[in-house]
Amino acid sequence: MQLKTLQTPAIWLAAALLAGCSTQSAYQRPALEVPAQFKEATPEAAEAGIWRPADPSRAQVPDNWWELFGDEQLNRLQQQAATGNQSIAQAAARLRAAQAAVASSQAGLLPTLGSTAGATRSRSGGASGASGASGTGGNTGSSGNISTNYSLGLNASWELDLWGRVSGTVSASQASAQASSDDLAAARLSAQASITQTYFSLRAADASVRLLQETLQSYEQSLKLTNNRYRAGVASSADVAQAEAQYKSTQAQLIEAQTSRAQLEHALAALLGLPPAAFSLEAGAELPLPPEVPAMLSSQLLEQRPDIAAAERRVAAANAQVGVARAAFFPALTLSATAGYRGASLSNLVSAPNLFWSLGPSLALALFDGGARTAAVESARASLDLAAATYRQTVLTALQEVEDNLVTASALAREQQVQIEAVAAAQKALDVVNNQYRAGTVAYLNVLSAQTTVLSARRSLIDVRNRRLAAVNTLLKNVAGRWEPLGPVSAQGPQAVAR
């Protein structure tokens, strides 16, 4: 009795020591130096209304960040896309698959239990020419003995996770599921930004169409005036030809602008999850004014962007897979148990004489595999290095994206003001040249040149406004991007909480 008392703690101690021999390496996020501030977050950007100074008293960017543009039509489109966008639906389906993989891997931590039931009929050979021997079932002689056996039982098995193979698989699947959750948040954010920018481009196309239609009306009047002057003998046929060429060229530009507008409407329909034939957007709305973007630090960008979070979680998953590959070098210990009934009679099968059971551990270890396990570890390490490099590149790309759009938005704000002044100057010059042409002091070529300058300046202003909105839209997407940890997987099913 004393021996058993001494053995029990020793057994538990040995099991604890074995359980502590995990092959999993402690995970550390890949190191990357991040500047405290963005390079292009200059006072000029704040003065231009692009980047406001940080103020704790001001509310953070709302989840519906596109509402800052103050466009009701855009708000309705975003609501429609929340349920119709197929990129979001694809990311949601991938997340459900990843969550199911978590539940599947967690099942490996628990014992498996199964049941068996069977009936077999067999014959054992007898001596040739034997007679008088009677066997079960009434067959005699050289036919041998024929017997029927029935069985009913339960079997259970449980692999002890001594080296962390199973737990490492669970950790890898959980990290992958979190990455898929972050991918879903990133897909939503990307779709929202794409819808916003496509909508602005469509409104810019509307503005171009209106401008060209107004210009054509003006050119039509100029063409009539030139024809009248030609009939009066004060203008040449060359003036008429030049006026007509300008009118036709502007007509071609209008057709091109209308085509671009239609294509943008089709692209917007696809983003909403609709066929182009089922969607139309009425023309006429103006381009909105760009809102100011709240300031943030470079480190905050890493905490908010879901694509960065997804890349980091894939590094964690790859790190766990290295431990799983290492565990293959150690033996697998499995506890197995079987119990049930076995007998020749079905009527009294479940009885004490027919009871059988077995219980015991089994140890399995591959002694030679031609280097397959070593190659698997090396492959896992290479995947870890790849995931780490991808994470660092994602961070660098995100920082570049913010810096690029900070300087772009700031420069375009100044360019827009200069372009407004250029339009005013061009229009003033056109008014002067028109009066001079009516007075007969300048040639019609001067009028054509001034008209072309006005049209070009006004179209450039529309383009600058659209590009400025695109830069601010991208900055808002970066600031608004937030993600949340994935909730636990329950027995009723995993739930995603990524936004």
Map out the domains of the chain as residue ranges.
Answer: 31-111+164-314+376-480
Average pLDDT over residues 45-57: 55
Residues recorded for the chain: 499
Output the CA–CA distances (angstroms, integers) from residue 86 to 81, 93, 188, 270, 474, in the order listed.
Answer: 9, 10, 10, 9, 21
- pLDDT of 7 strictly over 50: no
Question: For the ranges 71-80, 132-141, 186-195, which has the lowest average pLDDT?
Answer: 132-141
Determine if residue 132 is left, alpha or beta; phi over 0 gives left, psi from -120 to 50 gives alpha, anything else beta: left
Percentage of the chain beyond pLDDT 90 is 45
Could you tell me the fold of the domain covering 31-111+164-314+376-480?
Outer membrane efflux proteins (OEP) (1.20.1600)
Q: Tell me how crowded residue 365 is: count the other CB atoms within 10 A of its CB.
A: 10
Residue 282 φ/ψ region, left for φ over 0, alpha for ψ in the -120 to 50 degree band, beta for the rest: beta
Is residue 463 scored above 80 in pLDDT? yes
Tokens at residue 188, please?
A: 């939503």
Q: Please report the pLDDT score of residue 25 as a whole number.
A: 78
N-terminal to C-terminal alpha carbon distance within the chain: 62
At a CB cut-off of 8 Å and minimum separation 6, what does 276 contact?
A: 265, 266, 269, 270
pTM as predicted: 0.80
**Lowest-confidence segment of 63-72, 124-133, 147-156 by average pLDDT:** 124-133
46 has a pLDDT exceeding 70: no
428 pLDDT above the threshold of 70: yes
Chain Cα centroid distance, residue 290: 27
- Residue with the larger pLDDT of the pair 96 and 496: 96
Sign of the Cα torsion 366, 368, 370, 374 reads: positive
67 Cβ contact partners less than 8 Å away, ≥ 6 residues apart: 75
Single-letter code of the amino acid located at 139: N
| Predicted confidence (pLDDT) at residue 234 exceeds the cutoff of 50 | yes
**pLDDT for 247 beyond 50:** yes
pLDDT of residue 4: 44
> Is 310 a residue whose pLDDT tops 50?
yes
